[in-house]
Structure 1
Amino acid sequence: MQQLDWIILSATLLFIVFYGVYKTKGSKNVQDYILGNKETNWFTVGISVMATQASAITFLSTPGQAYHDGMGFVQFYFGLPIAMVVICFTFIPIYHRLKVYTAYEYLEQRFDLKTRSLASILFLIQRGLGTGLTIYAPAIILSTLLGWNLTLMIVVIGILVIIYTFSGGTKAVNVTQKQQMFVIMSGMFITFFLILHLLPNDMTFSNALHIAGANDKMNILDFSFDPESRYTFWSGITGGFFLMLSYFGTDQSQVGRYLSGKSVKESQMGLIMNGFLKVPMQFFILLTGVMVFVFFQFNPVPLNFNPNNKIAINKSKYKTEYEVLEKKLVKLSEEKKEINLIYIDHLNQNYDNPILRKELVGISNKENELRDEAREIISKADEKAETNDKDYVFIHFILNYLPQGLIGLLLAVILSAAMSSTASGLNALAATTAVDLYKRNVKGEKSEKHYVNATKYFTLLWGIIAILFACFGTLFENLIQLVNIVGSIFYGTVLGIFLVGFYVKYVKANAIFFGATISQFTIFYIYYLDIVSFLWLNFIGAMLTLILSIIFQFFIFRNKEVTL
């Protein structure tokens, strides 16, 4: 990184922190601190909802996901627009009518305190883990590639977020997320068009899509019914729908964003905006990853993008064996570039040469075989090595091929996204702890100032916990999948509790509590068996909770009075 990159990176992050503190200091009561005094307009609600979900993991991992597996991951988001409609017409009116600070307050009014506490605790566990990951993910990747100290990076990111979230609460989260989303999307658009500029001179965008298609990167829809396939149209519409319904409808990090809306209509418009824009945004980020893949059809590419693995190999007895594979890859890359250039020339003459397409597929298969061999050697050199390098693809491109100044901007994009989602997580964790656990169980009358201070200190506490978890976290597989796996394990059960509360009025407290508890333990076991894609856990958890609670109500608790 050059001096200009450091200036852009530092100035961007410091501006966001100080702007958030300056604009939002001095919350006088709980409503002001947790709900932003319900003054947020629909556009800010929509941007805040998008920024909360778009963590650094999105911008680090999604392009790498597309580089390796193509555009199919976009199917994960197909259920999102449907979920937005359901939340707008069911969840939002109820939350606003009851004037709740958190989603879980509703559960005590509908059921009882133990059900509210169960849902709150499940949320705190999964969101606590998730918030730690939003700090850990960018920190470990950037520290690896830039040579920065990992623990120091984690602490710096955590402290920056704590400063303005502690100071201004929900208002600080909302106002800073507008600046962060501007930085994020500006950086991504600039990068996308720069990639196209760096492709061979006679190559059009249409040519690039043809090359991606020839390598099976443009297969967007998969209508298969294989339950072990992670991303299909059906898993996106069903499992994705239930995940998005539970995330946006019951996760306080998202509920808190639209509870701060000026009115029901403003909150609904913000979520509808998210429903319209989220899928195209993810499509664009994936397409950026596909363009990175096309770029590397004409430029040198490492056997494995994770530089830690290369260091481990160089220190091992397998160095020579690995170098042989590297030489084979160099030779294969030269052949690949030559065939791609000929293929482009044919495309410019409006001829999609099927023979050349077949050759490209063959070369791609050979390259994948070399990468598989490399992973085996890396594992032999270091049994604990992370051989899956999807998370390092995009940042490798940024650091090695982007011009001076833009590197700083893209690093600011990644860290801004980390700060954005982390701030929402801390704000939600603090609000839930203060309102659903502390305030509900504390004895005696306390002032508004007392609860504002309590929420601030819980923000600090959860910030420290998130930093500690990130410091001791472990990286496995693709980070964006890891975050969604953590969510999917817990979200289905919580969603089931809310669905019963909203739609099954004759089920009451004991039935839903025991149904949800058994459902959660069942989900743990199903995940341990690894028999279905994690997306289906959302559907299974919600349905199990629903069915078990109805069964318990009819056969065990049927003579009890119904709680409305």
Structure 2
Amino acid sequence: MTEFGTLNWTILIVYILANLLLGFVISKKVSTADDFYLGQKQTPWWAIGISVIATYVSAMTFLGAPAWAYKDGLSVIAIHLNYPLVIIAVITFFFPFFYNAGVASIYEYQEKRFGKKARGLVSGIWLISQTMSSAAVLYATSLVLSFITGIPVVTAIIIVTVIALIYTVMGGITAVIWTDVIQSGILFIGAGIIMYALIENMDTSVMDTLAILKEQGKTNPLNFDLDFTNVTTVWSGVLAMSLYHITVYGTNQMMVQRTLAAKNIGDAKKSYLLMGFLAFFVYFFFIIMGILFYSYYQGKPFENENTIILEFAADYGMPGLMGIIAAAVMAASMSSLDSAFNSLSTVSTIDFYKKYFKPDETEVHYLNVSRIFTVIWAAIIIFPAILYHLHSTGSILEVLSKVGSYFVGAQLGMFGLGFFSKHASERGLLVGTFVGVIAVAYTALYTDVAWPWYAAIGATINVVVTIIASIAIDGKQENYSPYTVKGQIQAFADGNKATKENGWYLVPGKVDKVCYALFAFFIFTLIFLFSFEQFI
């Protein structure tokens, strides 16, 4: 590893200072707790959409996707085929509930539908899962900074946390969104330079290289094997991971909160539609990069696969490139960390502090408490990040996805029952959720079932056990709750309310026209991938 150098340090420091300055400027507009959680509902939809993409792409994709594809080939793309289906489901069923309720924490819905215990349970599950996920992002970034600059990983973990914390505490969700916009630009500039340099330095053309990789079995994107122990099959990607990602985009406060800062439900839906149409291309780009690295390095093993892209950048030797890469990875990471800090603080303040301890304080009081919780969660996340550093060597993207899969079944089951079940009660839900979590833990520890199926297993068992327990404990319900899909449809009909706002449905279960185009795009991606290998 060459010395980082003055130019690279200058690029990295200027990037850090720019983020802090932006946070300071935006902080001038934050005077209430709602400003901190939701901004002033004036953020344009395209900025929110870019923020959504930047948050989920993160350093996990920048480092982990090439590392994963280096090992498993183009079949990794199967895990990311489902975004169009996921976005259709989320904007059709989830968004109307959250917007009609006018909530800042999406877990308020659980209390309206079931009760306080259900709200506390789902909030608690999310706090744990988001802490572990954010710690993985923090570790990945710190690994990069350590590799590039020579700073010890643990020191880098603390530095990255402090930087993301400062501008998040100052500017709240608005600072999160606008810094994400800038960070996504830096991320893709860095990735573009790496891809250009990789293609330029290969001994053969891209098409010839892909032909060789095809002979080595690295370019098959669609594996239709009915093997539940294989992570990267079409079935795990389209079926199991659809449920996983519906939970990520529909029941995750970190992802949904920024859409609640949109001007109206139409803007919120458009911000997610941007992800639906662009996610495939983003992941395909990084996964193609991974298999090209496999050719470039002739499949040699790496001590830590996540450093492949970094070692290449160091060997390439372009002046300032390592500074750009360091800034790009910090950008990718902080776009996730800032979102996590803000949303963890929001849930802690609204779902616990305000709910159970201080329900009648001023907005300024809750703003101050939210900032305190932001600092607390930033400090907490440091510890699991250090544990990842001590025990993780595989693709950090796969590690993150696997950790998340332990919890998403419980969350998905709780919201699915809330939306569609007539008989589910709070006491039955508590029983079903507990049994579902135990079932996932057993599956993970004692079977060879691949982790993408954990969400489906957890959600299915949760739903079945909850309905049985609800009927046994509380009996059958005569009517649908007003907070189910059927209940909402009936409420709109009885109240003679407008079902659309600026052409976008307010009623859960009603499909907006653009969703049909998104489904057609999903079919296009399947055809494209099938054709890709055929014509290499």
TM-score scaled by length of structure 1? 0.82
Query: Are 1:36 and 2:39 matched, yes or no?
Result: yes
- Tell me the secondary structure at the aligned position of residue 54 of structure 1: helix
Give % identity: 29
1:264 is aligned to 2:265: yes
Following the alignment from structure 1 to structure 2, what is the Cα–Cα distance between the partners of residues 176 and 142? 20
Per-residue CA shift, 1:81-109, capped at 9, x if unaligned?
10100111111111000001111000000
3-state SS of 2:288 partner: helix
- Aligned position for 2:499: none
Question: Matched residues in 2 for 1:215 and 1:531: separation?
Answer: 26
Alpha-carbon separation, structure 2, partners of 1:42 and 1:560: 40
Unmatched tracts of structure 1, length 5 or more: 307-388
Mapped contact 1:96–1:264 kept (Cα < 8 A): yes
Q: Does residue 455 of structure 1 match 2:370?
A: yes
Q: Is the 8 A contact 1:17 1:163 kept in 2?
A: yes
Q: Which residue of 2 aligns with 1:424?
A: 339
Q: Which one of the candidate residues 312, 316, 325 is aligned to 1:410?
A: 325
Distance apart, 1:146 and its partner CA: 4.3
Q: 5+ unaligned residues in a row in structure 2: which ranges? A: 483-536
- Take 1:10 and 1:273, find their aligned partners in 2: how far apart are those partners? 31
The structural deviation recorded for 1:530 is 3.4
Secondary structure of the residue that 2:341 maps to in structure 1? Answer: helix
CA distance in 2, matches of 1:161, 1:408: 18
Aligned to 2:520: none
Match of 1:341 in 2: none
Alpha carbons of 1:54 and 1:25: their partners in 2 closer, same or farther (altered >3 Å)? farther
2:302 pairs with 277, 301, 305, which one? 305
Give the whole-Å Cα distance in 1 for the aligned partners of 2:457 and 2:430: 17
SS of equivalent residue, structure 2 residue 475: coil
Q: CA deviation at 1:35?
A: 0.9
Identify the residue that residue 396 of structure 1 maps to in structure 2.
Answer: 311
Which residue does 2:213 correspond to in 1? Answer: 212
- Which residue of the partner structure matches residue 156 of structure 1? 159
1:224 offset after TM fit, Å? 0.4
- The corresponding residue for 1:136 is 139
Q: Secondary structure at the match of 1:255?
A: helix
For residues 397 and 476 of structure 2, the distance between their equivalents in structure 1, rounded to whole angstroms, comes to 46
Q: Distance in 2 between matches of 1:58 and 1:142?
A: 16
* 2:12 aligned partner, one-letter code: L
2:175 paired residue number:
172
Instruction: Give the conservation status (yes or no) of the 8 Å contact 1:239–1:538.
Output: yes
Inter-partner Cα distance in structure 2 for 1:25 and 1:505: 47
- The match for 2:450 is 533
Flag the 1:402–1:258 CA change in 2: closer, same or farther, 3 A. Answer: farther
Query: CA shift at 1:227, angstroms?
Result: 0.3
TM alignment of 1:432-451, pairs within 5 A: 432-443=347-358, 445-451=360-366
1:110 aligns with 2:113: yes
Mark the CA change 1:25 to 1:204 in structure 2 (over 3 Å): closer, same or farther: same
Larger Rg: 1
Aligned to 1:225, the other structure's residue is in SS state coil
CA contact under 8 A between 2:20 and 2:167: conserved in structure 1? yes
Aligned position for 2:277 = 276
Task: Give the structure 2 partner of residue 370 of structure 1.
Answer: none
Q: Equivalent residues in 2 for 1:42-61 (5 A)?
A: 42-61=45-64
Tell me the CA shift for residue 555 of structure 1: 2.5
Aligned with residue 23 of structure 2, among 16, 20, 23: 20
Task: Please give the TM-score of this superposition, normalised by the length of structure 2.
Answer: 0.86
Alignment of 1:58-97 (within 5 A): 58-97=61-100
What root-mean-square deviation, in Å, do the aligned CA atoms of Structure 1 and Structure 2 show? Answer: 1.7
Note the C-alpha offset of 1:561.
8.1
* Helix, strand or coil at the partner of 2:474: coil
One-letter amino acid of the structure 1 residue matched with residue 57 of structure 2: A
Q: How far 1:133 moved relative to its partner?
A: 1.6
Query: What letter is aligned with 1:170?
Result: I
1:148 counterpart SS class: coil
Paired with 2:205 and 2:136, the residues of 1 have a C-alpha distance of 39
Alignment of 1:343-362 (within 5 A): none
Name the CA distance, whole Å, in 2 between partners of 1:536 and 1:530: 12
* Aligned 8 A contact 2:423 2:476 in 1: no
Q: C-alpha separation between the residues in 1 aligned to 2:44 and 2:423?
A: 37
Deviation at 1:505, TM superposition (A): 3.0
CA shift digits 1:460-501 (9 cap, x unpaired): 100111123323443323211111111100011111100110
